[in-house]
Amino acid sequence: MNPKVNIAFIVFASFVSFTIISAVGKNGRLFKDEYSAPASAESKESSLNPDPVIARIDTPPPENDNGIDLHYPIYDRVTDFLTTPNENSFDLQDPSIINKNIEYDPETKQYIISENIGGQFYRDPTYMSFEDFLQYQYKNSEEQYWQDRSNAAGILTQKGAIPDVNVNNRIFDRIFGGTAVDIRPQGNIDLTFGGNYQNIMNPILTKRQRHQGGFVFDMNIQMNVIGKIGDKLKLTTNYNTGAVFNFENQVKLDYTGYEDEIIKKIEAGNVSLPLKGSLITGNQSLFGLKTQLQFGRLTVTNVMSQQQSQAENVTIQGGAQTQTFRITADQYDENRNFLLAQYFRDNFNQSLSSIPIINSAVTINKIEVWVTNKTGATVDVRDIVAFQDLGEAKPYSPAIQGSNNTLPYASNLNPVLSSNDLYTRLASKTYSKARYLDFSIQELTDPTKFNLVPVQDFEK
């Protein structure tokens, strides 16, 4: 395609020569070159212009085989992609249709490097020895290592995903010493969602108690926030939901004034008050407000805070640590006793009259304590009924017949199952329904049978 040539003529006073100016070259770029225009016979004889006029040529001569002279030339490689990789970012990369393969040939002990397009060789395959391939891998790993180090250094120096905010306000600039607002959050938040369902195949439990489940949600936050407003205000926050102690979560707001200002420093959050003297020691774990003001040569430091730590003295004697405990009366349960029968209540004071020697004719060899199953346990679970008058010589319930012993020493009789007729009636076949789970309450409260009052006489 012939280029478009714009020609302008400039006529000199002699009218013997002309200049050709080209605005567009052959390949779309502006070129400059010179050639001599043929002069007429009159101009050669004229003494006004003894030398010929030099004009510019429109198209330069080609410098390569394609006839195109590029300012940044593109060269095609003649070897494989490992030997001469494309390192120029201006050159186009190989298209994705080219399939690059590296295979090891155990017979020749060499690596075969090939490039295919649709199963056909795009270039002739090349071969690389095992030693050369190791050298290539070493060089590639070294370059990747330095690239990773460079990326890591860039991550440490970057300011974060939140861009800086500038508040163009004169009062804001005067208070905070600048208009830039920089907030840098760091950390992670882990959220766990799930469900927990249990199907307990225990016939003792009700149908509702067998099927248990619920939604499980767990959140773990580890966050650090560093905020800065101007040159004076700085915010530091450290929050971790898995912290064992509360003082590990630090929140501090720091305002630092200039040298010629009255307000030198204002701290809010976790502050400290170190003192130089040894008579009165300062505290390093305070939560509150601390101000430092300067009036000429007078410096005033004020602290309004809550103490979050406690000082303790530890004494070690003979390789062992001793420590004194103080327990107030409302924090200790004193003289709390559980009496198994009325017999122990009647003889309590007499048996403990000569402490530490216990004067009692009864020795308890074994005792079992049963608690109400409130957690849905399935191991060692029983359905029991506890009776108040079991083994009592003088039962509280009038429906239970006692031993009919009216002698004064009847209260000193040891508690046995034969002291009244309650156990005998429960063990008989006549009242066998009282030992079944579904009929126990109905049988025990029946006026024609046991006539017992729930909660007062028995507890299921």
Task: Give the model's pLDDT for residue 431.
Answer: 84
Contact between 253 and 273 under an 8 Å Cβ cutoff? The reply is: no
Task: Give the model's pLDDT for residue 46.
Answer: 45
| Angle, CA 33 vertex, CA 32 and CA 36 arms, to 5° | 140
Task: Give the model's pLDDT for residue 410.
Answer: 53
Task: Give the model's pLDDT for residue 142.
Answer: 92
Task: Give the model's pLDDT for residue 15.
Answer: 36
pLDDT tens for the 460 residues of the chain, in order: 444 444 443 333 333 333 333 333 333 344 444 444 444 444 444 445 555 555 555 555 555 555 566 677 777 777 888 887 776 666 777 888 889 888 989 888 899 999 999 888 888 899 989 898 888 889 889 988 998 888 776 655 655 555 666 677 788 888 888 888 888 888 888 888 888 888 888 888 888 888 888 888 888 888 888 888 888 899 888 888 887 777 778 888 899 988 888 998 999 888 888 777 777 777 777 888 999 999 988 989 888 888 777 777 777 777 777 777 777 766 666 667 778 888 888 888 888 888 888 888 888 888 888 888 888 777 778 888 888 888 888 888 888 887 655 555 455 677 888 888 888 888 888 888 888 888 888 888 888 888 888 888 888 8
Task: Give the model's pLDDT for residue 363.
Answer: 82
Q: Kindly report whether the global pTM for this prediction surpasses the value 0.85.
A: no
Task: Give the model's pLDDT for residue 248.
Answer: 75
